[in-house]
Structure 1
């Protein structure tokens, strides 16, 4: 099977910053046509078309199963941990998230998922309505993790940002105070971790799509176990471009933290702390990948908190 992988996927994998990731991403992309063909044949799927621009961590293709049921095939490299995503989707079993129809076979990184309307996400709604629907959706995902699970904890996941934070602090003295504040917030939050629930891990408006059996369903989990405030922080950081461009952006951003925390009955200070850490950590990672515009927006928002 010959085709060109979507450029969004190629670009995103090329920006990965952990050791050895670039070489691994290139090797996986080179093998992608053969991997897709093998995944289709093993599952008796008929390819309709590859979605473009598609996602940033996996290839998405519209397919039909052997019985004619429409579905979505996601094919991800091992670094994206498709097995963890499959385990989380199996745990939710369609409650608040797309349903897993078939998981990876022999570690091939392929997931067959319930087909949703990929072109219609919560980002198509006005912000107030989108935040309301997002809060209702993410609440459903916060469940007890299965016994013996292999999901990362929030402590483990956030420790992985250490290299990017160190690099930013060393390269730009003006950002050291912000990096120190983010580290202090993380340490304080982890010192008193209040709960260990299964979280989406990468929740935002663009990860909630329109469905048939229920209006909105989450997709693309990067599952992690920890407190709900960590997950909610990702939602706070949505649509930051418009917020930062506003003359009242700082006050509006702080009100967003308060409003979302209150709507889900979470501690405001813990939501604020995780939002600060995630904004600075994501900004540092963006700088490391030379996405300077995105980094500027994230770090500007973090300075308001």
Structure 2
């Protein structure tokens, strides 16, 4: 099968890799990307069509066709937040467990190459294309299907362990002017993990942009790109609670709207309001400090202002 021209990574992925904590690792993956791509195409007998753009910040996704002509998507994970092999193995395990219930269906995986073969969704059309009320309704519907008991003997990281590393980074990297907010967020996280509410399989990075349009016939919207963890539902919902943050900040009475949104989400999914508030505040502070450390001041300050509203 003839090789297709090597596509450049989408700009969103390239920008994310520019901020990689280990530049040499990112550069090596980019250099190896054409070989990884060709190896996956050959192994699965795929014909490349085009790269999905703008795509994600942690992988290159290419639309392909299988040998029998059926459409699919090839995902090649970048070494963001750990090795590509580990992230791919965790994502494949979660997708296999969900088996298409609320999430994209896994067709095959090659964790050593960071490669996943997935059913094709409409990657350019996410819930962000809908009005907010409708998007929220569809998002909560997807979460109800995703929150299931994890498989026996699973190797997924717990929310407690995952957030411990983030908490250490926040504690070490926070400037003095945000220290009171950081201390409150860290105290909330410590109290939450000390008294865990439940242990279900979580998406880990659930937001409107991670739920894509589908014509599979199962449901019109399916989640993609999980960073799976095991823990309480409030942790997953906390990321969704700050969706469309820039739109929220531009509206009048943004702080009150943010608090009402938390209440509505908690009630819609039967999640404890205070636990959701605690996780939402912690996750916003952790993300805000991380953005500031990478020189993304506007994004970091917006996240910390949102956390302060709660």
Q: TM-score, normalised by structure 1?
A: 0.95
Contact kept in structure 2, 1:168 and 1:175, CA below 8 Å: no
Mean Cα deviation higher: 77-86 or 178-187:
77-86
Contact kept in structure 1, 2:167 and 2:186, CA below 8 Å: no
- Residues 163/11 of structure 1: CA separation in 2 closer, same or farther (3 Å cut): farther
Q: Distance in 2 between matches of 1:14 and 1:288?
A: 14
Mean Cα deviation higher: 287-296 or 203-212:
287-296
Residue 178 of structure 1 corresponds to which residue in structure 2? 181
Contact kept in structure 2, 1:164 and 1:288, CA below 8 Å: no
1:197 aligns to 2:203 (yes or no): no
Residue 53 of structure 1 corresponds to which residue in structure 2? 54
Contact kept in structure 2, 1:244 and 1:300, CA below 8 Å: no
Deviation at 1:103, TM superposition (A): 1.2
Q: Which runs of 5+ in 2 are unaligned?
A: none
Residue 12 of structure 2 corresponds to which residue in structure 1? 8
Deviation at 1:3, TM superposition (A): 3.1
What secondary structure, in the 3-state scheme, does the structure 1 residue paired with 2:226 have?
coil
What secondary structure, in the 3-state scheme, does the structure 2 residue paired with 1:68 have?
coil
1:187 aligns to 2:193 (yes or no): no
Q: Distance in 2 between matches of 1:256 and 1:162?
A: 25
Q: In the TM superposition, what whole-angstrom CA distance separates every residue of 1:217-245 from its partner, at most 9, and x where no partner exists?
A: 00000000000000000100110111122
Q: Distance in 2 between matches of 1:261 and 1:52?
A: 33
What secondary structure, in the 3-state scheme, does the structure 2 residue paired with 1:60 have?
strand
Deviation at 1:164, TM superposition (A): 3.2
1:293 aligns to 2:298 (yes or no): yes
Q: Distance in 1 between matches of 2:172 and 2:277?
A: 24
1:303 aligns to 2:308 (yes or no): yes
Equivalences for residues 161-176 of structure 1 within 5 A: 161-169=166-174, 172-176=175-179
Contact kept in structure 2, 1:279 and 1:302, CA below 8 Å: yes
What secondary structure, in the 3-state scheme, does the structure 2 residue paired with 1:147 have?
coil
Residue 238 of structure 2 corresponds to which residue in structure 1? 233
Q: Distance in 1 between matches of 2:279 and 2:78?
A: 28
Residue 65 of structure 2 corresponds to which residue in structure 1? 64
Residue 99 of structure 1 corresponds to which residue in structure 2? 105
Q: Which runs of 5+ in 1 are unaligned?
A: none
Deviation at 1:163, TM superposition (A): 4.3
Residue 37 of structure 2 corresponds to which residue in structure 1? 36
Q: CA RMSD in A?
A: 1.2
Contact kept in structure 2, 1:208 and 1:219, CA below 8 Å: yes
Residue 279 of structure 1 corresponds to which residue in structure 2? 284
Contact kept in structure 1, 2:53 and 2:124, CA below 8 Å: no
Q: Distance in 2 between matches of 1:5 and 1:201?
A: 24
Q: In the TM superposition, what whole-angstrom CA distance separates every residue of 1:42-68 from its partner, at most 9, and x where no partner exists?
A: 111110111222111000000001111
Q: TM-score, normalised by structure 2?
A: 0.94
